[in-house]
């Protein structure tokens, strides 16, 4: 009976490990998307700095002329928000990696 319980525990741990790996993949995808948004925001800020032409913002289907200073503030705020989200995601990713590594060691020890 104890052997079957041990096998069941190992199977449960392996299933949990698979879920943790899936989460890590999702975190990686989300992080990549956020980094792309961060790069686009950085490029827009640089373009605003160097451009002398009027600045426009796309709102729905409309292109509205905006004060470059206001746009810079909006983009800077967006950049800060995205950076904070990336840091939060990295923190979750690190915790999940640590948990997965610990669980993987447990499973490896049980299977030996």
How confident is the model over 15-41, as a mean pLDDT?
97
Q: In this predicted structure, what is the pLDDT of residue 111? A: 79
CATH number at residue 38: 1.10.287.370
Segments forming the whole domain that contains residue 93: 2-111
The pLDDT tens digits of the residues spanning 39-85 come to: 999 999 999 999 888 899 999 999 999 999 999 999 999 999 999 99
Contacts of 72 (CB under 8 A, 6+ apart): 45, 48, 49
pTM of the complete model beyond 0.85:
no
The answer to whether the beta carbons of residues 31 and 91 sit under 8 Å apart is no
Considering its fold, how many domains does the chain have in total?
1
């Amino acid at each position: 009976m104890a052997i079957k319980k041990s096998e069941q525990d190992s199977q449960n741990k392996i299933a949990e490990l698979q879920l943790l790996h899936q989460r890590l993949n999702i975190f990686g995808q989300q992080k990549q998307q956020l980094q792309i948004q961060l790069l686009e925001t950085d490029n827009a800020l640089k373009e605003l700095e160097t451009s002398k032409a009027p600045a426009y913002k796309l709102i729905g289907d409309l292109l509205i002329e905006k004060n470059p200073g206001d746009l810079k503030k909006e983009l800077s705020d967006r950049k800060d928000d995205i950076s904070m989200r990336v840091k939060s995601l990295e923190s979750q990713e690190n915790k999940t990696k640590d948990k997965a590594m610990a669980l993987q060691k447990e499973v490896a020890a049980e299977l030996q």
